[in-house]
Amino acid sequence: MVNGQSAVTSAWASSPLKLLVPQPRGESVYAYLSSFGGGLVAGDETKLDIRLAAGTRAFISTQASTKIFRNPHCRPCGHKLNAALGEDSLLVLAPDPIQPFAGSSYAQRQEFHLEPSASLVLVDWFTSGRTARGERWAFNRFQSRNDIFLGDERVVVDSLLLDPAEDAPGDSHRMGRFNCLALVVLIGPALGEASARLLADVAQQSVTRRAPLVCSASAIREGALLRIAGEQVEIVGREIHRHLGFLPELLGDDPFARKW
Protein backbone atom coordinates (compact mmCIF):
# COMPACT_ATOMS: atom_id res chain seq x y z
CA MET A 1 0.00 0.00 0.00
CA VAL A 2 1.22 3.51 -0.88
CA ASN A 3 -0.75 6.40 0.66
CA GLY A 4 -3.73 4.11 1.16
CA GLN A 5 -3.78 2.81 -2.42
CA SER A 6 -2.67 -0.42 -4.05
CA ALA A 7 0.52 0.25 -5.99
CA VAL A 8 3.12 -1.63 -8.01
CA THR A 9 6.43 -1.26 -6.17
CA SER A 10 8.39 -3.65 -8.39
CA ALA A 11 7.70 -5.22 -11.82
CA TRP A 12 10.20 -6.91 -14.10
CA ALA A 13 10.03 -9.41 -16.95
CA SER A 14 12.33 -10.95 -19.58
CA SER A 15 11.72 -12.73 -22.88
CA PRO A 16 9.53 -14.57 -23.72
CA LEU A 17 7.31 -13.02 -21.02
CA LYS A 18 5.99 -9.47 -21.27
CA LEU A 19 4.36 -7.69 -18.35
CA LEU A 20 2.08 -4.70 -19.03
CA VAL A 21 0.83 -2.56 -16.15
CA PRO A 22 -1.69 0.02 -17.44
CA GLN A 23 -2.84 0.90 -13.93
CA PRO A 24 0.07 0.67 -11.48
CA ARG A 25 -1.73 2.51 -8.69
CA GLY A 26 -5.28 2.96 -7.49
CA GLU A 27 -8.00 1.13 -5.61
CA SER A 28 -6.70 -1.95 -7.47
CA VAL A 29 -3.64 -2.65 -9.61
CA TYR A 30 -4.19 -4.00 -13.14
CA ALA A 31 -1.54 -6.05 -14.96
CA TYR A 32 -1.56 -8.10 -18.17
CA LEU A 33 0.69 -10.92 -19.29
CA SER A 34 1.78 -11.35 -22.87
CA SER A 35 4.69 -12.74 -24.90
CA PHE A 36 6.79 -11.52 -27.78
CA GLY A 37 5.40 -14.17 -30.14
CA GLY A 38 1.81 -14.33 -28.93
CA GLY A 39 2.39 -17.66 -27.23
CA LEU A 40 4.94 -20.31 -26.31
CA VAL A 41 7.19 -22.25 -28.67
CA ALA A 42 9.27 -25.37 -28.03
CA GLY A 43 11.59 -24.84 -25.08
CA ASP A 44 9.84 -21.74 -23.68
CA GLU A 45 9.48 -21.76 -19.90
CA THR A 46 7.89 -18.78 -18.15
CA LYS A 47 7.95 -18.22 -14.40
CA LEU A 48 5.90 -15.62 -12.56
CA ASP A 49 6.19 -14.59 -8.90
CA ILE A 50 3.43 -12.44 -7.41
CA ARG A 51 3.60 -10.82 -3.98
CA LEU A 52 0.64 -8.90 -2.56
CA ALA A 53 1.25 -6.88 0.58
CA ALA A 54 -1.39 -6.56 3.29
CA GLY A 55 -4.56 -4.80 2.16
CA THR A 56 -3.66 -4.62 -1.55
CA ARG A 57 -5.81 -5.66 -4.50
CA ALA A 58 -4.73 -6.76 -7.96
CA PHE A 59 -6.32 -7.97 -11.18
CA ILE A 60 -4.04 -9.98 -13.46
CA SER A 61 -5.05 -11.22 -16.91
CA THR A 62 -3.62 -11.68 -20.40
CA GLN A 63 -3.88 -9.66 -23.61
CA ALA A 64 -5.39 -12.60 -25.48
CA SER A 65 -5.45 -16.39 -25.43
CA THR A 66 -2.07 -18.04 -24.85
CA LYS A 67 -1.14 -20.01 -27.96
CA ILE A 68 0.94 -23.15 -27.49
CA PHE A 69 2.62 -23.66 -30.82
CA ARG A 70 3.51 -26.95 -32.51
CA ASN A 71 6.34 -28.77 -30.76
CA PRO A 72 7.45 -31.70 -32.98
CA HIS A 73 10.47 -32.55 -30.79
CA CYS A 74 8.46 -32.45 -27.54
CA ARG A 75 10.87 -30.09 -25.83
CA PRO A 76 9.67 -28.84 -22.43
CA CYS A 77 7.27 -25.92 -22.72
CA GLY A 78 5.31 -24.48 -19.87
CA HIS A 79 4.49 -21.96 -17.19
CA LYS A 80 5.01 -21.77 -13.42
CA LEU A 81 3.38 -19.31 -11.06
CA ASN A 82 3.87 -18.73 -7.35
CA ALA A 83 1.70 -16.18 -5.56
CA ALA A 84 1.84 -15.03 -1.94
CA LEU A 85 -1.14 -13.08 -0.63
CA GLY A 86 -0.78 -10.97 2.52
CA GLU A 87 -3.45 -10.25 5.12
CA ASP A 88 -6.69 -8.76 3.74
CA SER A 89 -5.30 -8.76 0.18
CA LEU A 90 -7.23 -9.81 -2.94
CA LEU A 91 -5.84 -11.36 -6.10
CA VAL A 92 -7.98 -11.91 -9.19
CA LEU A 93 -6.10 -14.07 -11.69
CA ALA A 94 -8.34 -14.30 -14.75
CA PRO A 95 -6.34 -14.96 -17.94
CA ASP A 96 -7.78 -15.73 -21.33
CA PRO A 97 -7.83 -19.44 -22.21
CA ILE A 98 -4.83 -21.50 -23.20
CA GLN A 99 -5.03 -22.70 -26.81
CA PRO A 100 -2.81 -25.71 -27.51
CA PHE A 101 -2.15 -26.24 -31.22
CA ALA A 102 -1.90 -29.67 -32.84
CA GLY A 103 1.42 -31.31 -31.99
CA SER A 104 2.07 -29.06 -28.97
CA SER A 105 3.18 -29.99 -25.45
CA TYR A 106 2.48 -27.87 -22.37
CA ALA A 107 2.80 -28.16 -18.59
CA GLN A 108 1.56 -25.60 -16.08
CA ARG A 109 2.00 -25.46 -12.29
CA GLN A 110 0.48 -22.72 -10.13
CA GLU A 111 0.72 -22.32 -6.36
CA PHE A 112 -1.12 -19.80 -4.21
CA HIS A 113 -0.21 -19.15 -0.58
CA LEU A 114 -2.85 -17.15 1.28
CA GLU A 115 -2.76 -15.60 4.71
CA PRO A 116 -5.99 -16.50 6.59
CA SER A 117 -7.72 -13.19 5.74
CA ALA A 118 -6.60 -13.05 2.09
CA SER A 119 -8.91 -13.80 -0.85
CA LEU A 120 -8.37 -15.27 -4.31
CA VAL A 121 -10.34 -15.50 -7.53
CA LEU A 122 -8.71 -18.00 -9.88
CA VAL A 123 -9.76 -18.70 -13.47
CA ASP A 124 -7.94 -21.47 -15.33
CA TRP A 125 -9.32 -22.60 -18.69
CA PHE A 126 -8.24 -24.03 -22.02
CA THR A 127 -9.59 -24.96 -25.42
CA SER A 128 -9.40 -28.02 -27.64
CA GLY A 129 -7.19 -26.14 -30.14
CA ARG A 130 -7.83 -24.41 -33.45
CA THR A 131 -11.16 -26.02 -34.21
CA ALA A 132 -11.70 -23.80 -37.28
CA ARG A 133 -8.65 -25.50 -38.81
CA GLY A 134 -9.88 -28.96 -37.88
CA GLU A 135 -7.52 -29.26 -34.89
CA ARG A 136 -9.45 -30.71 -31.98
CA TRP A 137 -7.69 -32.21 -28.96
CA ALA A 138 -4.75 -32.87 -31.30
CA PHE A 139 -1.94 -31.77 -28.96
CA ASN A 140 0.77 -34.18 -27.79
CA ARG A 141 0.36 -33.50 -24.08
CA PHE A 142 -1.39 -31.01 -21.79
CA GLN A 143 -0.87 -30.82 -18.05
CA SER A 144 -2.12 -28.31 -15.47
CA ARG A 145 -2.02 -28.26 -11.68
CA ASN A 146 -3.24 -25.70 -9.15
CA ASP A 147 -2.46 -25.81 -5.41
CA ILE A 148 -4.02 -23.36 -2.95
CA PHE A 149 -2.80 -23.04 0.64
CA LEU A 150 -4.52 -21.25 3.52
CA GLY A 151 -1.74 -20.67 5.99
CA ASP A 152 0.13 -23.97 6.13
CA GLU A 153 -2.84 -26.08 5.02
CA ARG A 154 -3.38 -27.13 1.41
CA VAL A 155 -7.10 -26.66 0.80
CA VAL A 156 -7.34 -27.12 -2.99
CA VAL A 157 -5.50 -29.47 -5.32
CA ASP A 158 -6.65 -29.54 -8.92
CA SER A 159 -4.56 -31.63 -11.29
CA LEU A 160 -5.29 -32.47 -14.93
CA LEU A 161 -3.32 -34.50 -17.45
CA LEU A 162 -4.41 -35.11 -21.05
CA ASP A 163 -2.06 -37.42 -22.91
CA PRO A 164 -3.14 -39.05 -26.20
CA ALA A 165 -0.51 -41.74 -25.59
CA GLU A 166 -2.75 -43.05 -22.80
CA ASP A 167 -6.18 -42.28 -24.26
CA ALA A 168 -7.24 -39.87 -26.99
CA PRO A 169 -8.87 -36.77 -25.39
CA GLY A 170 -11.12 -36.38 -28.42
CA ASP A 171 -12.70 -39.78 -27.87
CA SER A 172 -16.47 -39.62 -27.56
CA HIS A 173 -16.26 -41.11 -24.06
CA ARG A 174 -13.86 -38.42 -22.82
CA MET A 175 -14.34 -34.86 -24.10
CA GLY A 176 -17.22 -35.78 -26.38
CA ARG A 177 -18.76 -32.67 -27.91
CA PHE A 178 -16.97 -30.21 -25.62
CA ASN A 179 -14.24 -27.88 -26.84
CA CYS A 180 -13.50 -25.82 -23.72
CA LEU A 181 -12.98 -26.65 -20.04
CA ALA A 182 -12.76 -24.12 -17.23
CA LEU A 183 -12.02 -24.02 -13.52
CA VAL A 184 -13.09 -21.08 -11.33
CA VAL A 185 -12.16 -20.89 -7.65
CA LEU A 186 -13.43 -18.32 -5.15
CA ILE A 187 -11.79 -18.48 -1.76
CA GLY A 188 -11.41 -16.11 1.17
CA PRO A 189 -13.54 -13.87 3.44
CA ALA A 190 -14.00 -11.12 0.84
CA LEU A 191 -15.73 -13.67 -1.42
CA GLY A 192 -18.08 -15.31 1.06
CA GLU A 193 -21.29 -13.86 -0.39
CA ALA A 194 -20.15 -14.41 -3.99
CA SER A 195 -19.33 -18.05 -3.20
CA ALA A 196 -22.75 -18.64 -1.67
CA ARG A 197 -24.48 -17.07 -4.70
CA LEU A 198 -22.44 -19.20 -7.09
CA LEU A 199 -23.33 -22.42 -5.28
CA ALA A 200 -27.02 -21.50 -5.16
CA ASP A 201 -27.08 -20.47 -8.82
CA VAL A 202 -25.54 -23.71 -10.08
CA ALA A 203 -27.76 -25.80 -7.79
CA GLN A 204 -30.85 -24.24 -9.39
CA GLN A 205 -29.75 -24.89 -12.97
CA SER A 206 -31.72 -27.63 -14.70
CA VAL A 207 -29.96 -30.53 -16.37
CA THR A 208 -30.69 -30.64 -20.10
CA ARG A 209 -29.75 -33.54 -22.33
CA ARG A 210 -26.82 -32.63 -24.62
CA ALA A 211 -26.74 -29.06 -23.35
CA PRO A 212 -24.05 -26.91 -25.00
CA LEU A 213 -22.85 -25.84 -21.53
CA VAL A 214 -22.53 -27.94 -18.38
CA CYS A 215 -21.62 -26.56 -14.93
CA SER A 216 -20.94 -28.13 -11.56
CA ALA A 217 -20.04 -26.43 -8.30
CA SER A 218 -18.89 -27.60 -4.90
CA ALA A 219 -18.19 -25.92 -1.59
CA ILE A 220 -14.61 -25.77 -0.38
CA ARG A 221 -13.14 -24.33 2.77
CA GLU A 222 -13.77 -20.56 2.75
CA GLY A 223 -15.24 -20.60 -0.74
CA ALA A 224 -16.52 -22.43 -3.81
CA LEU A 225 -15.15 -24.26 -6.85
CA LEU A 226 -16.85 -24.14 -10.24
CA ARG A 227 -16.21 -26.37 -13.26
CA ILE A 228 -17.53 -25.58 -16.71
CA ALA A 229 -17.52 -27.58 -19.95
CA GLY A 230 -18.79 -26.01 -23.15
CA GLU A 231 -19.09 -26.74 -26.83
CA GLN A 232 -17.84 -23.24 -27.68
CA VAL A 233 -15.21 -21.05 -26.05
CA GLU A 234 -17.49 -18.01 -26.25
CA ILE A 235 -20.30 -19.51 -24.18
CA VAL A 236 -17.83 -20.67 -21.52
CA GLY A 237 -16.36 -17.16 -21.41
CA ARG A 238 -19.81 -15.61 -20.97
CA GLU A 239 -20.61 -18.02 -18.14
CA ILE A 240 -17.34 -17.19 -16.36
CA HIS A 241 -17.99 -13.46 -16.64
CA ARG A 242 -21.56 -13.92 -15.42
CA HIS A 243 -20.35 -15.57 -12.23
CA LEU A 244 -17.69 -12.88 -11.79
CA GLY A 245 -20.17 -10.04 -12.08
CA PHE A 246 -19.33 -8.97 -8.51
CA LEU A 247 -15.75 -7.98 -9.40
CA PRO A 248 -16.39 -4.28 -10.20
CA GLU A 249 -17.58 -3.75 -6.64
CA LEU A 250 -14.44 -5.32 -5.20
CA LEU A 251 -11.93 -3.84 -7.66
CA GLY A 252 -13.45 -0.40 -8.15
CA ASP A 253 -13.88 -0.93 -11.91
CA ASP A 254 -15.13 -3.55 -14.37
CA PRO A 255 -12.01 -5.41 -15.60
CA PHE A 256 -13.85 -6.83 -18.62
CA ALA A 257 -15.71 -3.71 -19.78
CA ARG A 258 -13.09 -2.44 -22.22
CA LYS A 259 -11.62 -5.81 -23.06
CA TRP A 260 -14.80 -7.44 -24.29
145-188 pLDDT, tens per residue?
999 999 999 999 999 999 877 666 655 557 789 999 999 999 99
Eight-class DSSP state of 235: H
In a domain, 158, yes or no: yes
Task: State the alpha helices, DSSP H only, in the chain.
Answer: 192-204, 233-243, 247-251
In a domain, 184, yes or no: yes
- The structural domain count of the chain equals 1
What 3-state class would DSSP assign to 101?
coil
Other Cβ atoms within 10 Å of 22 Cβ, number: 9
Dist. CA 42–CA 62, nearest whole Å: 20
In a domain, 48, yes or no: yes
In a domain, 7, yes or no: no
- On the question of pLDDT at 84 being above 70, the answer is yes
> Smallest Cα–Cα separation from 69: which of 31, 41, 27, 109?
41
pLDDT in tens, 204-251: 998 888 999 999 999 999 999 999 999 999 999 999 999 999 999 999
In a domain, 13, yes or no: no
Q: Which domain covers residue 225, as residue numbers?
A: 19-251
In a domain, 127, yes or no: yes
pLDDT in tens, 14-53: 888 888 898 888 899 999 998 877 789 988 999 999 999 9
Cα–Cα distances (Å) from 107 to 46, 48, 63, 79, 148, in that order, read 11, 14, 20, 7, 18
